[in-house]
Copies of this chain bind each other. A is one copy, B any other.
C-alpha cells in the first residue's frame, strides 16, 4: 500500500533539512492528533454513541486530513515543483504538472 512510486524525498532538498524538520514535525503532530481522533471515534462506537455524533467526528477528521493535505501540497509546490519547473528537463516539468492534476482530480 505505501510503496513510494519514486525515490524523490519529501523534505531532504538542497534548501537544507533543518527548516524542513520543523515542518516535518508539524505534519507528524497533526497525524498524531488524527490518530488520537480515530481512537476517540472507536470509543464512541464501542459505547454506542448516537450515529450523527459519530458522523460529526468523522467529518472533523476528514477536515483535519484536508488541512494536512494543504500543508504537504504547499511544501511540495515550494520545493519539488519549483525545482522541476526551473530545471531544463521538460519531462520533469510534465511529471510534476501531471502529478498536480492527479491530486486536483482526486479531491475534486
1/0 contact string of A26-53 vs chain B (CB within 8 Å): 0110011011011111111110111111
Contact A44 B2 (CB under 8 A): yes
Number of copies of this chain that the complex holds: 4
How many residues of chain A are within 8 Å of chain B by beta carbon? 73
Contact of A45 with B10 at beta-carbon distance under 8 Å, contacts A35-B39, A73-B51, A85-B86 already known: yes
20 new A-B contacts at CB < 8 Å, known A51-B72, A69-B108, A73-B104: A4-B53, A5-B52, A5-B53, A6-B50, A8-B51, A9-B48, A9-B50, A12-B48, A50-B80, A51-B76, A51-B80, A52-B76, A55-B76, A59-B106, A65-B65, A66-B105, A77-B97, A81-B85, A82-B93, A103-B104
